[in-house]
Amino acid sequence: MNFLKPLLTVFILLIAYSSHSQSFKNASEYLDFIATEQESVTKNMWKYTKAIAHSKNDRTINAKRNVLLKTVEKAIAKIENADGYDGENYKNQVLTYMRLNESLLNQDYAKIIDMKEVAEQSYDAMEAYVLARELADQKMEDAYNEYDTNFRLFAAKHNISIVESETDLGNKMKISNQVFNHYNELYLIYFKVSINEMYLIDALSKNDVGAIQQNANALSQTAKEGLEILKTVELYKNDKSIAEVTKDAFEFFIDEADNQVPQLTEFLILNEDFETIRNTLEKTPERKRTKEQIDTYNKKVKDINKAVDNYNKVNTKLNKDRQNIINKLNTTNENFLAKHIPND
Protein backbone atom coordinates (compact mmCIF):
# COMPACT_ATOMS: atom_id res chain seq x y z
CA MET A 1 0.00 0.00 0.00
CA ASN A 2 1.33 3.45 -0.72
CA PHE A 3 -1.01 6.14 0.51
CA LEU A 4 0.20 7.19 3.96
CA LYS A 5 2.32 10.26 4.43
CA PRO A 6 3.87 11.55 7.67
CA LEU A 7 1.30 11.73 10.43
CA LEU A 8 0.54 15.20 11.71
CA THR A 9 0.23 15.84 15.42
CA VAL A 10 -0.86 19.04 17.09
CA PHE A 11 0.66 20.50 20.23
CA ILE A 12 -2.50 20.49 22.34
CA LEU A 13 -3.87 17.03 23.11
CA LEU A 14 -7.11 17.81 24.89
CA ILE A 15 -10.39 16.10 24.01
CA ALA A 16 -13.69 17.12 25.51
CA TYR A 17 -16.71 14.86 25.82
CA SER A 18 -20.33 15.63 26.47
CA SER A 19 -23.20 13.33 27.24
CA HIS A 20 -24.65 13.85 23.76
CA SER A 21 -21.92 14.67 21.26
CA GLN A 22 -18.28 15.46 21.50
CA SER A 23 -17.52 19.16 21.26
CA PHE A 24 -14.30 21.12 21.16
CA LYS A 25 -13.11 24.31 22.82
CA ASN A 26 -10.73 25.24 20.06
CA ALA A 27 -9.43 24.22 16.64
CA SER A 28 -6.40 22.47 18.13
CA GLU A 29 -8.61 20.06 20.03
CA TYR A 30 -10.55 19.29 16.89
CA LEU A 31 -7.45 18.70 14.78
CA ASP A 32 -6.06 16.38 17.42
CA PHE A 33 -9.34 14.46 17.45
CA ILE A 34 -9.19 14.02 13.66
CA ALA A 35 -5.49 13.05 13.73
CA THR A 36 -6.17 10.41 16.40
CA GLU A 37 -8.86 8.76 14.26
CA GLN A 38 -6.60 8.86 11.21
CA GLU A 39 -3.74 7.29 13.17
CA SER A 40 -6.00 4.40 14.18
CA VAL A 41 -6.82 3.80 10.52
CA THR A 42 -3.15 4.08 9.60
CA LYS A 43 -2.04 1.44 12.11
CA ASN A 44 -4.57 -1.08 10.84
CA MET A 45 -3.63 -0.25 7.26
CA TRP A 46 -0.06 -1.22 8.12
CA LYS A 47 -1.28 -4.52 9.58
CA TYR A 48 -3.14 -5.14 6.32
CA THR A 49 -0.02 -4.30 4.32
CA LYS A 50 2.08 -6.67 6.44
CA ALA A 51 -0.43 -9.45 5.87
CA ILE A 52 -0.18 -8.99 2.11
CA ALA A 53 3.61 -9.01 2.32
CA HIS A 54 4.15 -11.86 4.77
CA SER A 55 1.09 -14.11 4.69
CA LYS A 56 0.28 -16.76 2.09
CA ASN A 57 -3.17 -17.24 3.58
CA ASP A 58 -5.86 -15.33 1.67
CA ARG A 59 -8.22 -15.70 4.63
CA THR A 60 -5.71 -13.95 6.89
CA ILE A 61 -5.32 -11.12 4.40
CA ASN A 62 -9.08 -10.73 4.04
CA ALA A 63 -9.48 -10.78 7.83
CA LYS A 64 -7.04 -7.86 8.10
CA ARG A 65 -9.02 -6.03 5.42
CA ASN A 66 -12.20 -6.52 7.46
CA VAL A 67 -10.51 -5.23 10.62
CA LEU A 68 -9.32 -2.18 8.69
CA LEU A 69 -12.81 -1.66 7.30
CA LYS A 70 -14.34 -1.75 10.78
CA THR A 71 -11.73 0.75 11.99
CA VAL A 72 -12.71 3.13 9.18
CA GLU A 73 -16.40 2.63 9.94
CA LYS A 74 -15.84 3.41 13.64
CA ALA A 75 -13.83 6.52 12.73
CA ILE A 76 -16.66 7.69 10.47
CA ALA A 77 -19.23 7.16 13.23
CA LYS A 78 -17.14 9.08 15.79
CA ILE A 79 -16.53 11.99 13.43
CA GLU A 80 -20.19 12.09 12.38
CA ASN A 81 -21.39 12.14 16.01
CA ALA A 82 -18.90 14.79 17.09
CA ASP A 83 -19.50 18.48 16.56
CA GLY A 84 -17.52 20.17 13.86
CA TYR A 85 -15.47 23.24 14.55
CA ASP A 86 -15.92 26.55 12.77
CA GLY A 87 -18.83 25.10 10.83
CA GLU A 88 -19.20 21.74 9.13
CA ASN A 89 -17.00 22.28 6.08
CA TYR A 90 -13.80 20.68 7.37
CA LYS A 91 -15.74 17.91 9.11
CA ASN A 92 -17.42 17.06 5.81
CA GLN A 93 -14.07 17.05 3.99
CA VAL A 94 -12.70 14.50 6.48
CA LEU A 95 -15.85 12.38 6.20
CA THR A 96 -15.56 12.41 2.40
CA TYR A 97 -12.03 11.04 2.74
CA MET A 98 -13.05 8.38 5.25
CA ARG A 99 -16.07 7.30 3.20
CA LEU A 100 -13.92 6.95 0.10
CA ASN A 101 -11.63 4.63 2.07
CA GLU A 102 -14.69 2.68 3.20
CA SER A 103 -15.93 2.39 -0.38
CA LEU A 104 -12.53 1.27 -1.68
CA LEU A 105 -12.26 -1.43 0.97
CA ASN A 106 -15.83 -2.58 0.43
CA GLN A 107 -15.72 -2.58 -3.34
CA ASP A 108 -12.32 -2.20 -5.00
CA TYR A 109 -10.29 -4.33 -2.59
CA ALA A 110 -13.07 -6.90 -2.24
CA LYS A 111 -13.16 -7.17 -6.04
CA ILE A 112 -9.38 -7.57 -6.09
CA ILE A 113 -9.69 -10.60 -3.79
CA ASP A 114 -12.14 -12.16 -6.27
CA MET A 115 -9.84 -11.33 -9.19
CA LYS A 116 -6.98 -13.15 -7.50
CA GLU A 117 -8.87 -16.44 -7.76
CA VAL A 118 -8.70 -16.36 -11.58
CA ALA A 119 -5.49 -14.38 -12.00
CA GLU A 120 -3.38 -17.50 -12.55
CA GLN A 121 -5.41 -18.55 -15.59
CA SER A 122 -3.92 -16.08 -18.07
CA TYR A 123 -1.42 -13.26 -18.35
CA ASP A 124 -4.21 -10.78 -19.09
CA ALA A 125 -6.04 -11.84 -15.91
CA MET A 126 -2.85 -11.55 -13.84
CA GLU A 127 -2.00 -8.16 -15.31
CA ALA A 128 -5.55 -6.96 -14.64
CA TYR A 129 -5.27 -8.14 -11.04
CA VAL A 130 -1.97 -6.32 -10.46
CA LEU A 131 -3.20 -3.16 -12.19
CA ALA A 132 -6.43 -3.20 -10.17
CA ARG A 133 -4.42 -3.28 -6.97
CA GLU A 134 -2.20 -0.45 -8.13
CA LEU A 135 -5.23 1.61 -9.16
CA ALA A 136 -6.95 1.07 -5.81
CA ASP A 137 -3.76 2.05 -4.01
CA GLN A 138 -3.48 5.17 -6.17
CA LYS A 139 -7.06 6.16 -5.35
CA MET A 140 -6.27 5.88 -1.65
CA GLU A 141 -3.06 7.85 -2.09
CA ASP A 142 -4.90 10.63 -3.94
CA ALA A 143 -7.58 10.68 -1.25
CA TYR A 144 -4.98 10.96 1.48
CA ASN A 145 -3.18 13.78 -0.34
CA GLU A 146 -6.45 15.73 -0.42
CA TYR A 147 -7.05 14.95 3.26
CA ASP A 148 -3.53 16.14 4.09
CA THR A 149 -4.03 19.38 2.15
CA ASN A 150 -7.31 20.09 3.93
CA PHE A 151 -5.69 19.33 7.29
CA ARG A 152 -2.96 21.88 6.63
CA LEU A 153 -5.38 24.52 5.35
CA PHE A 154 -7.55 24.17 8.46
CA ALA A 155 -4.49 24.43 10.71
CA ALA A 156 -3.20 27.48 8.84
CA LYS A 157 -6.61 29.16 8.98
CA HIS A 158 -6.62 28.87 12.77
CA ASN A 159 -2.93 29.71 13.24
CA ILE A 160 -2.10 26.27 14.64
CA SER A 161 1.49 25.11 14.72
CA ILE A 162 1.77 21.47 13.76
CA VAL A 163 4.59 19.05 14.34
CA GLU A 164 5.42 17.19 11.15
CA SER A 165 7.67 14.18 11.31
CA GLU A 166 8.67 11.22 9.20
CA THR A 167 7.25 8.64 11.59
CA ASP A 168 8.47 5.07 11.67
CA LEU A 169 5.05 3.95 10.48
CA GLY A 170 5.04 6.47 7.65
CA ASN A 171 8.48 5.35 6.52
CA LYS A 172 7.46 1.70 6.53
CA MET A 173 4.43 2.44 4.39
CA LYS A 174 6.56 4.30 1.85
CA ILE A 175 9.07 1.47 1.80
CA SER A 176 6.35 -1.13 1.25
CA ASN A 177 5.14 0.75 -1.82
CA GLN A 178 8.60 0.75 -3.39
CA VAL A 179 9.16 -2.92 -2.53
CA PHE A 180 5.83 -4.03 -3.98
CA ASN A 181 6.41 -2.02 -7.15
CA HIS A 182 9.68 -3.91 -7.79
CA TYR A 183 8.15 -7.23 -6.77
CA ASN A 184 5.11 -6.79 -9.04
CA GLU A 185 7.22 -5.65 -11.99
CA LEU A 186 9.41 -8.75 -11.84
CA TYR A 187 6.51 -11.08 -11.14
CA LEU A 188 4.64 -9.93 -14.24
CA ILE A 189 7.78 -10.46 -16.32
CA TYR A 190 8.07 -13.98 -14.92
CA PHE A 191 4.37 -14.80 -15.22
CA LYS A 192 4.21 -13.74 -18.87
CA VAL A 193 6.79 -16.45 -19.60
CA SER A 194 5.63 -19.11 -17.14
CA ILE A 195 2.04 -19.09 -18.44
CA ASN A 196 3.41 -20.66 -21.61
CA GLU A 197 4.86 -23.51 -19.59
CA MET A 198 1.45 -24.04 -18.00
CA TYR A 199 -0.03 -24.43 -21.49
CA LEU A 200 2.87 -26.72 -22.44
CA ILE A 201 2.30 -28.99 -19.45
CA ASP A 202 -1.39 -29.18 -20.31
CA ALA A 203 -0.54 -30.19 -23.88
CA LEU A 204 1.88 -32.84 -22.58
CA SER A 205 -0.80 -34.28 -20.31
CA LYS A 206 -3.03 -34.68 -23.38
CA ASN A 207 -0.23 -36.12 -25.57
CA ASP A 208 -1.10 -33.44 -28.15
CA VAL A 209 2.08 -33.29 -30.23
CA GLY A 210 1.02 -30.27 -32.26
CA ALA A 211 0.09 -28.24 -29.17
CA ILE A 212 3.27 -29.39 -27.40
CA GLN A 213 5.49 -28.11 -30.21
CA GLN A 214 3.55 -24.85 -30.50
CA ASN A 215 3.69 -24.10 -26.78
CA ALA A 216 7.33 -25.19 -26.49
CA ASN A 217 8.25 -22.69 -29.22
CA ALA A 218 6.26 -19.97 -27.46
CA LEU A 219 7.91 -20.79 -24.13
CA SER A 220 11.40 -20.66 -25.62
CA GLN A 221 10.74 -17.37 -27.40
CA THR A 222 9.15 -15.58 -24.43
CA ALA A 223 11.85 -16.87 -22.05
CA LYS A 224 14.59 -15.50 -24.31
CA GLU A 225 12.73 -12.19 -24.55
CA GLY A 226 12.36 -12.24 -20.77
CA LEU A 227 16.11 -12.56 -20.31
CA GLU A 228 16.60 -9.39 -22.35
CA ILE A 229 13.91 -7.54 -20.40
CA LEU A 230 15.55 -8.50 -17.09
CA LYS A 231 18.68 -6.63 -18.16
CA THR A 232 16.70 -3.37 -18.17
CA VAL A 233 14.98 -3.75 -14.79
CA GLU A 234 15.92 -1.19 -12.16
CA LEU A 235 16.79 -3.00 -8.93
CA TYR A 236 15.50 -2.10 -5.50
CA LYS A 237 18.44 -1.13 -3.30
CA ASN A 238 20.69 -3.10 -5.65
CA ASP A 239 19.00 -6.33 -4.52
CA LYS A 240 19.47 -8.77 -7.41
CA SER A 241 17.82 -11.74 -5.72
CA ILE A 242 14.48 -11.85 -7.55
CA ALA A 243 16.02 -10.85 -10.87
CA GLU A 244 18.64 -13.59 -10.60
CA VAL A 245 16.21 -16.36 -9.64
CA THR A 246 13.90 -15.24 -12.44
CA LYS A 247 16.85 -15.50 -14.82
CA ASP A 248 17.47 -19.04 -13.55
CA ALA A 249 13.82 -19.89 -14.21
CA PHE A 250 13.99 -18.54 -17.76
CA GLU A 251 17.14 -20.56 -18.47
CA PHE A 252 15.34 -23.66 -17.21
CA PHE A 253 12.37 -22.90 -19.50
CA ILE A 254 14.67 -22.48 -22.50
CA ASP A 255 16.44 -25.77 -21.84
CA GLU A 256 13.09 -27.46 -21.25
CA ALA A 257 11.59 -26.17 -24.50
CA ASP A 258 14.66 -26.50 -26.75
CA ASN A 259 16.31 -29.68 -25.46
CA GLN A 260 14.06 -31.74 -23.20
CA VAL A 261 10.58 -31.48 -24.71
CA PRO A 262 11.75 -32.60 -28.20
CA GLN A 263 12.76 -35.90 -26.59
CA LEU A 264 9.28 -36.25 -25.13
CA THR A 265 7.58 -35.49 -28.45
CA GLU A 266 9.92 -37.94 -30.19
CA PHE A 267 8.59 -40.66 -27.92
CA LEU A 268 4.97 -39.63 -28.49
CA ILE A 269 5.42 -39.73 -32.27
CA LEU A 270 7.17 -43.09 -32.02
CA ASN A 271 4.38 -44.37 -29.80
CA GLU A 272 1.75 -43.26 -32.32
CA ASP A 273 3.58 -45.19 -35.05
CA PHE A 274 3.86 -48.22 -32.77
CA GLU A 275 0.13 -48.16 -31.97
CA THR A 276 -0.68 -47.99 -35.68
CA ILE A 277 1.59 -50.97 -36.45
CA ARG A 278 0.23 -52.96 -33.52
CA ASN A 279 -3.40 -52.29 -34.40
CA THR A 280 -2.77 -53.29 -37.98
CA LEU A 281 -1.05 -56.51 -36.88
CA GLU A 282 -3.81 -57.37 -34.41
CA LYS A 283 -6.45 -56.91 -37.08
CA THR A 284 -4.58 -59.23 -39.41
CA PRO A 285 -5.32 -62.95 -38.89
CA GLU A 286 -2.20 -64.85 -37.78
CA ARG A 287 -2.10 -66.99 -40.93
CA LYS A 288 -2.05 -63.85 -43.08
CA ARG A 289 0.66 -62.01 -41.17
CA THR A 290 3.84 -61.55 -43.17
CA LYS A 291 7.39 -61.90 -41.89
CA GLU A 292 7.94 -58.23 -42.74
CA GLN A 293 4.98 -57.21 -40.56
CA ILE A 294 6.24 -59.29 -37.63
CA ASP A 295 9.83 -58.05 -37.99
CA THR A 296 8.65 -54.43 -38.16
CA TYR A 297 6.49 -54.91 -35.07
CA ASN A 298 9.30 -56.58 -33.09
CA LYS A 299 11.73 -53.81 -34.02
CA LYS A 300 9.21 -51.19 -32.90
CA VAL A 301 8.77 -52.99 -29.59
CA LYS A 302 12.51 -52.70 -28.94
CA ASP A 303 12.50 -49.06 -30.03
CA ILE A 304 9.49 -48.20 -27.89
CA ASN A 305 10.93 -49.92 -24.80
CA LYS A 306 14.13 -47.93 -25.16
CA ALA A 307 12.16 -44.74 -25.81
CA VAL A 308 9.96 -45.32 -22.73
CA ASP A 309 13.04 -45.46 -20.53
CA ASN A 310 14.35 -42.19 -21.95
CA TYR A 311 10.90 -40.55 -21.73
CA ASN A 312 10.58 -41.46 -18.06
CA LYS A 313 14.12 -40.29 -17.35
CA VAL A 314 13.61 -36.92 -19.07
CA ASN A 315 10.16 -36.43 -17.54
CA THR A 316 11.39 -37.24 -14.03
CA LYS A 317 14.30 -34.82 -14.37
CA LEU A 318 12.05 -32.07 -15.70
CA ASN A 319 9.61 -32.47 -12.84
CA LYS A 320 12.42 -32.42 -10.29
CA ASP A 321 14.14 -29.39 -11.82
CA ARG A 322 10.84 -27.56 -12.20
CA GLN A 323 9.94 -28.11 -8.56
CA ASN A 324 13.40 -26.97 -7.48
CA ILE A 325 13.12 -23.71 -9.44
CA ILE A 326 9.60 -23.08 -8.13
CA ASN A 327 10.77 -23.65 -4.56
CA LYS A 328 13.72 -21.34 -5.16
CA LEU A 329 11.44 -18.66 -6.62
CA ASN A 330 9.01 -18.86 -3.71
CA THR A 331 11.78 -18.77 -1.12
CA THR A 332 13.53 -15.85 -2.82
CA ASN A 333 10.30 -13.86 -3.10
CA GLU A 334 9.48 -14.48 0.56
CA ASN A 335 12.98 -13.52 1.65
CA PHE A 336 12.89 -10.36 -0.47
CA LEU A 337 9.64 -9.18 1.12
CA ALA A 338 10.76 -10.21 4.60
CA LYS A 339 14.07 -8.39 4.16
CA HIS A 340 12.67 -5.12 2.86
CA ILE A 341 9.22 -4.91 4.50
CA PRO A 342 9.43 -4.95 8.31
CA ASN A 343 7.29 -7.52 10.11
CA ASP A 344 6.98 -5.65 13.39
- Residue 253's Cβ-side half-sphere holds a number of Cα atoms within 13 Å equal to 32
Q: Are 48 and 200 in contact (CB under 8 A)?
A: no
DSSP 166-228: --HHHHHHHHHHHHHHHHHHHHHHHHHHHHHHHHHHHHHHTT-HHHHHHHHHHHHHHHHHHHH
Question: Tens of pLDDT along 82-130?
Answer: 999 988 999 999 999 999 989 988 888 788 878 887 888 888 999 898 8
Dihedral of CA atoms 209, 213, 215, 217 in degrees, nearest 10, equals 180
Q: Is 108 exposed, middle or buried (0-12, 13-18, 19+ CB in 10 A)?
A: middle
Q: Residue 60 has what pLDDT?
A: 82
Q: CA-CA distance, 322 to 312, in Å (whole number)?
A: 15
Closest CA to 342 of 176, 215, 200: 176
Residue 145 predicted with pLDDT over 90: no
Residues with Cβ within 8 Å of 334's Cβ and at least 6 positions away in sequence, in order, are: none
Residue 228 predicted with pLDDT over 90: yes
164's enclosing H/E stretch is strand 162-164
Q: pTM score, two decimals?
A: 0.75
Question: Tens of pLDDT along 37-82?
Answer: 988 887 887 787 777 766 667 788 888 888 999 999 999 999 999 9
